[in-house]
Structure 1
Amino acid sequence: MMARINLHLYGLAVFAAVTLVYVFLSRPFSFTPRVADLTYGRLRDVRDDRFPRYAIATFLSESSSPGDSLAEDYYFTSARILAYQVLHDGRTKSNHTNIPFLVLVTDEVSDAKRERLQRDGAQVIHGEDIPLNRWTSTGATHWNNQFNKLRLLGMTQYDRILFLDADTILTRPIDGIFNEPQSQVAAPSLLVERPKQIRWDEGQPPAEYVFAARSDNGLTGQREHPFPPKETDEFSAAFWLAAPSVELYQYFLNVMTQYPRFDPKTMDQALLNYAFRRDGTMPWQELNYTWSASWPSTSDLNGGVASLHDRLWTMGPDSLKDRWWALKKKMEAVMT
């Protein structure tokens, strides 16, 4: 008797399921694709602005050797050298005196280091750690906070920010880069032209953006790269120029929640190259090679490249290492 009841109930369930499927399939089917908002994240036009808000910035986390003294922390010393060159050195300081030099620091950076940078003239900004998902954690805890650099992209008190890694030295003033067309003119995102590149689980990219960088010499021979260097599909995250916006910053936070859109082992380098990929909706723009060189060589120096990125206190040609140590000595003599 019980078996008959169960069989009857099973038959009713199957009938109901088939009926629902029939009703659903017999209804007119319509699908309205999501349409991008072309007003979302528009940027302020700076071309006719007499007082555009520019900033030059770097990033400082704790030393890779915790407990180092101020004198032995070479990334900290390099940040000081960069501050000195941007703000004080007559050969390299900005021509526009109203451009601040920002140092974004993590929780672990000591008060002594922050105070020293402030006495050097830098504006020290504390950035809370950006929360990481399990898949974005690299396992190397010292480097996980490199994602904090993204906070610069949300600092809308500035129209443009030029970012340089702390282990960078200058050969001439760098602020002229803000006059480049890649900085002055906001690019329209290719939301209509490349709708399939909009991944809605990441949210909509902003309708306008500014992001310019230099091809990564690490992909074309490293120290032996040709001069002038070859262009590549990927850029070096040690040097970039961007227009901050709330929408752009939120887009990055959204991307970081989606597994696995980029390789977390190379941290912000991979994330930035994913967001501004050549075939995406916000392809990065190439700056002239004379603005920056990763894996710098004597050819870059002799060719007038404005900024050279490497741990020059220990790596690179002797002429560049000697240059770094000479700058350290000069900076320490002046910034007492």
Structure 2
Amino acid sequence: MKNILSPKTVPVLISAVFLVLIWVNTHSATIPPLGAVGPEFEEQRLSLSKIAPQRPTHNYAFSAFLAAPSMDTNDDNDDLYFVGTRLMIYQLLHDPATRTNNSYPFVVLVTEDVVPSKRERLQKDGAIVLAVEKLSLEWAGTRKAWKDVLTKLRLFELYQYDKVLFLDSDTLITRRMDGIFDDSAAQLQQNKGNHSPEKAPEDEGPQPATYLFAGNAGSGGFDHVYPPPKGNNLNAGCMVFRPARDLFEYYLRLAQLKDRFPGRTPEQSLWSYAHRRDGNMPWTQLHYDWNVNWATWNDSLHGIASLHSKFWELDHDPKLRDFALSIKWKMEGYWEGVDAAKSAS
């Protein structure tokens, strides 16, 4: 019997498999995402097969932040936050069920100690990868974790964008996120202009006259209700902001002031202080259907667009775990097909 897997036929077969994957990916666009409910999802379902424009309709961007893991790994895929970042890139740029239909770019800020192989993989995945220098604080000493998370402040140096959505790398997407930029909370705000020492301490320097900082409060635990109650405590895992030099410099001044804000989660604590609800620049509350932490499968059934949940720590919720793993396998299959087709060409 003739061997059909000859050197000449292998590239053809690989290309054929890749074309089938592309066809399935495209035509699966008529299937709503898991957890989709309500008429708004029907409208999205009908529009999923439309081809996205080549240029963004607005100067907006998705973003993530990646630092090197605290312990060295033998394989890039052992860094679960790296894998989580790849999942978000795939979902927001490539997955027909959740990808942007406005061609918004995905920017990943990486610290200088993130290895080149990870940077190259993120670029191949379609992200704009920007290496940034870590921020250092004299009073913080040599604590690596502090330097890493405070370097997230450099997101506010993305001056080329009018609005940026930041998501922590342990986030799962269930439906398109484009509409978050139009949320009533994600609009430019005016500083309240109270110059009292309590609202504008002199050692903090001038506050920006305008700002945009929208986020969500934490849900409190896996047993949270829907809709979640509004809270005052900011969760920095999902936020929409306008990058601005005066705001970035204001944050830097705050960061240099020891004991001005609690340090357990330094970047979140800094933002919570800068945008405290009783201050001049209070953070605004995004609609609760955009994001939730302490996520459960029930949250997806309610149609929440992004679930702040580590895909590798979901044994407590088998349905959510299976959903997360299905996204991971789908991403891996997609890129295996793309990479194989490129190698065969």
The two structures have a TM-score, normalised by structure 2, of: 0.78
Deviation at 1:140, TM superposition (A): 4.9
**In the alignment, what sits opposite 1:92?**
98
- The 8 Å contact of residues 194 and 200 in structure 2, kept in 1 or not, is answered as no
Residue 129 in structure 1 maps to residue 134 in structure 2:
yes
Q: Which amino acid aligns with 1:242?
A: F
3-state DSSP of counterpart to 1:129: coil
Residues 191-230 of structure 1: CA deviation (Å, up to 9, x unaligned): 148674011211111011111101111xx3x111111111
Once residues 260 and 140 of structure 1 are traced to their aligned partners in structure 2, the CA distance between those partners, rounded to angstroms, is 16
Verify: 1:172 aligned to 2:169, yes or no.
no
Rounded Cα–Cα distance in structure 2 between residues aligned with 1:226 and 1:317: 16
Aligned residue among 202, 205, 213 for 2:204 = 202
Which 5+ residue runs of structure 1 have no aligned equivalent?
Answer: 1-49
Q: CA deviation at 1:62?
A: 1.1
Counterparts in 2 of 1:194 and 1:308: CA distance versus 1, 3 Å:
farther
Name the CA distance, whole Å, in 2 between partners of 1:193 and 1:234. 24
Match of residue 261 from structure 1: 260
Alignment partner of 1:75 out of 77, 81, 94 = 81
Contact 1:189–1:281 (Cα < 8 Å) also in 2: yes
The equivalent residue for 1:304 is 303
1:190 to 183, 189, 192: 192
Q: Could you say what secondary structure the match of 2:267 adopts?
A: helix
Secondary structure class of the residue paired with 2:264: helix
> For residues 195 and 179 of structure 1, what CA distance do their matches in structure 2 show?
34
Looking at structure 1, the residues matched to 269 and 286 of structure 2 have their Cα atoms a distance apart, in angstroms, of 19
Q: 1:239 is paired with a residue of what secondary structure?
A: strand
- 2:99 maps to a residue whose letter is K
Paired residues, number: 280
Q: Aligned-pair distance for 1:154?
A: 2.0
Shift of 1:109: 0.6
Q: What does the per-residue CA deviation read over 1:9-37, in whole Å, with 9 as the maximum and x for residues that have no partner?
A: xxxxxxxxxxxxxxxxxxxxxxxxxxxxx
Specify the code of the residue in structure 2 equivalent to 1:264: G
- Alignment deviations for residues 137-187 of structure 1 (CA, whole Å, 9 cap, x no partner): 5x752453111111111221111110000111100010111111222x311
Any idea what SS the aligned residue of 1:272 has? helix
- Contact 1:154-1:248 at 8 Å conserved across structures: no
Any conservation in 1 of the 2:217–2:230 contact (CA below 8 Å)?
yes
Alignment match, 2:324: 324
* Counterpart residue number, 1:290: 289
Query: 1:293 is paired with a residue of what secondary structure?
Result: strand
Secondary structure of 1:244 counterpart: coil
RMSD over equivalenced CA pairs, Å: 1.7
Question: Secondary structure, in 3 states, of the residue corresponding to 2:77?
Answer: coil
| Post-superposition offset of 1:51 | 5.0
Taking the TM superposition and a 5 Å limit, the aligned residue runs for 1:1-336 are 51-97=57-103, 99-134=104-139, 136-137=140-141, 140-183=143-186, 185-192=187-194, 196-217=198-219, 220=220, 222-315=221-314, 316-336=316-336
Distance 1:142 1:270 in 2: 14
Shift of 1:65: 3.0
Q: Distance in 1 between matches of 2:74 and 2:206?
A: 44
Amino acid at match of 1:64: S
Could you say what secondary structure the match of 2:185 adopts? helix
Distance in structure 1 (CA, Å) of the matches to 2:188 and 2:214 = 11
AA matched with 1:214: N
Shift of 1:64: 3.5
Is this contact kept in 1: 2:276–2:282, CA < 8 A? yes
Determine if contact 2:136/2:147 at 8 Å carries over to the other structure.
Answer: no
> Contact 1:227–1:299 at 8 Å: present in 2 too?
no
The whole-number CA distance in structure 2 between the counterparts of 1:281 and 1:173 is: 32
Q: Distance in 2 between matches of 1:199 and 1:68?
A: 48
Deviation at 1:261, TM superposition (A): 0.9
TM-score w.r.t. length of structure 1: 0.80
Select the structure of larger CA radius of gyration.
1
Runs of 4+ in 1 over 2 A off after TM superposition: 139-144, 192-196
Percentage identity across aligned positions?
37
